[in-house]
Structure 1
């Protein structure tokens, strides 16, 4: 799996994350609105059931044992008590996450909601080496971390890393990664915007952090001799994922028709409401007030909440609206996650 680099050290194979989409923000948006959009945009609405499908049975990496390691990785995140759900499906067209095992493609995953932009016949997550080793198991945790919305930790702008860029390009350009300059820049050297990062601390022990050999980092001096491998979720990983995806309430509050309900939310917070329509017809569900919100609707079918529709009004001069036919006495859940508010700061949700 690993090979000596040009400097003689052992360089592991790394995740080559595809470039994240960058929203085109209007120049007249306030800094606060822009920051909130960049911070929240990749995260799923909490309570989403993420369906994943395998496009092969281990490809040229191995057999069913490879699939089992991916299942274990999803379960490791779920075991923290997060509000996201993970469900394996056999039909790739019914999945948000599609997984392939291809040595030539290496290991990678799209980040968070970027998965929704990929065609249903294409992989959104690939694995390029054996997942049954300790490093492979960590790789599965790392890639599933991307899928739920987390970026590379060493690209955290608060890390204060000064790279020996020539050596980084030399090492990553050789075996076993053989990356061109643009892939190395995108996955190692490019710093995230401060607006995209939760908190202000760099977690060197995060599962989203790469290990690095000596000589690649100039500063902080403590890491000139490298960063050791992380093989499991750190305390900060657990704290951050629960911040974005806290446990769900057993039963959301009921939202009654034609009754405006105020939302008391901070950036990234979410409010959930149950809707049980009194009659079958077309309804409007919408937010009111100066705010950027992603609004999603789910229907409870055989005990599982299934996605119906959503609207993201971030950066636009409008409020989110869902126009949808609801069936009498069926159970629906509306989820509203806030980017930011301005003006009076007061927002509300109603259906009619």
Structure 2
């Protein structure tokens, strides 16, 4: 599992649909890949560029650890989760799944879902102050799909989705009906909200996605509009497949969302975990090596893996000395960044609020 923060427009949420279709009609099963809404992606890209300049002279910790640590919640702290929509029965189920991350021996955080009266915390678009750090919605349409801000980006007022009256995590239409893999989707999204990143972009994973069409492929679609194998059983590549119904992704977006990420300031990369809940299931036909790909699993990952649990405990330790070390480093890092003349007004405001909170 990768422990990270999202200061990057690359952070997308992948969901495989379950539309009925003949097994020999299409290369992969129908997949709709959900990325951030455009406004959130654009804001994250701006923040990433600004931060990449501002952290050049930081000495408090190794360069590649700066971004992951800054956007992490404080170990041992309370992180509130509020909802816009959904009945108590649904929220009961979501609270159980989210809490998988904070069971004993995992992340040392307390997730608070209810107020003092025992009612679930609720947020609305009219809120001017934060009811909760993580604000869950069930929106469809332009703001729909499965997605989540990563870590403390959910309370960055300079980011779309970071304001009190905006969703920071979305579970499209869960309030109407739950998809078959709703537990895995919930675990995955709350993993992002706690600071964990996609495993299939881990550069140590060898996820050999088949981006190009088979040679000679003739673009062919089924009645629903999905690109499928042509009459000679040549397959569409991911650039073609994801560029059509129902994703409509340009080439750059496919690259940003699926290609491995180089070790950089934005990632803390560990050993690849092919059964991580943060790695979504991919059909064998999406890989060059098919079922022999090191990234392929025969079944979808539905629960936290042992490495997920270990990563959560490492990111949010329980030992007082470890907590103090993390907080001390965060404060020193923020101070060094804020001393740079390269920090812009919006970014400076956001970082200063973080430092004030820690002080």
User: What is the TM-score when the length of structure 2 is the normalising length?
Assistant: 0.64
Deviates more, 1:123-132 or 1:9-18: 9-18
* Alignment check: 8 A CA contact 1:161 1:220 kept: no
Shift of 1:242: 0.5
The partner residue of 2:91 within 67, 72, 83 is 67
Match of 1:103 among 140, 149, 161: 140
- Among 80, 90, 97, the alignment partner of 2:122 is 90
Pairing partner for 2:172 from 128, 135, 138 = 128
Give the superposition deviation at 1:206: 0.5
**What 5-or-longer segments of structure 1 have no aligned partner?**
58-62, 250-264, 274-285, 296-310, 325-333, 337-352
1:80 Cα deviation from its structure 2 partner:
3.8
Q: Is the 8 A contact 2:84 2:123 kept in 1?
A: no
Deviation at 1:122, TM superposition (A): 0.8
Point out the structure with the larger helix share: 2
Answer yes or no: is 1:144 the counterpart of 2:168: no
CA 1:322 to 1:38, structure 2 compared with 1: closer, same or farther past 3 Å? closer
Shift of 1:190: 5.2
Q: What CA deviation, in whole Å up to 9, does each residue of 1:248-278 have, x standing for no partner?
A: 65xxxxxxxxxxxxxxx7xxx43189xxxxx
Q: Which residue of 2 aligns with 1:303?
A: none
RMSD over aligned CA atoms reads 3.7
Tell me, yes or no, if structure 1 residue 158 matches structure 2 residue 204.
yes
Tell me which of the two structures has the higher relative contact order, counting C-alpha pairs closer than 8 angstroms and 6 or more residues apart.
Answer: 2
- Could you tell me which residue of structure 2 aligns to residue 116 of structure 1? 155
1:2 to 18, 25, 28: 18
Instruction: Say which SS state the counterpart of residue 126 (structure 1) adopts.
Output: strand
Matches within 5 A, 1:170-185: 170-185=240-255
SS at match of 2:135: strand
**Runs of 4+ off more than 6 Å:** 320-324
Give the Cα–Cα distance (whole angstroms) in 2 for the partners of residues 121 and 321 of structure 1.
Answer: 19
Q: Distance in 1 between matches of 2:184 and 2:263?
A: 26
TM-score if structure 1 supplies the norm length?
0.65
Asked whether 1:243 is paired with 2:243, we answer no
Aligned partner of 2:337 in structure 1 is 315
The answer as to 2:274 corresponding to 1:204 is: yes
Question: Is the Cα–Cα contact under 8 Å of residues 55 and 99 in structure 1 kept in the other structure?
Answer: yes
CA distance in 1, matches of 2:353, 2:135: 30
- Closer, same or farther in 2 for the Cα pair 1:224/1:178, shift >3 Å? farther
The question of whether the paired residues in 2 share the 8 Å contact of 1:52 and 1:96 is answered with yes
Partner Cα distance (2:68, 2:266) in 1? 4
Structure 1, residues 82-121: CA drift from partner, whole Å, max 9, x if none? 3211112234532111111123311100001111111111
2: distance between equivalents of 1:103 and 1:176? 14
Q: What is residue 52 of structure 2 aligned with on the other side? A: 24
Tell me, what secondary structure is at the counterpart of 1:312? helix
**Partner Cα distance (1:170, 1:80) in 2:** 45
Shift of 1:179: 4.0
Matched-pair contact (CA < 8 Å) for 1:272–1:335: no
Q: How many Å apart are 1:28 and its aligned residue?
A: 4.5
- In terms of fraction of residues, the more strand-rich structure is 1
Structure 2, gaps ≥5 residues long: 1-16, 114-120, 125-129, 157-161, 213-236, 341-351
Q: Which residue of structure 1 aligns with residue 220 of structure 2?
A: none
Q: Indicate conservation of the 8 Å contact 2:65/2:267, yes or no.
A: no
Tell me the secondary structure at the aligned position of residue 302 of structure 2.
Answer: coil
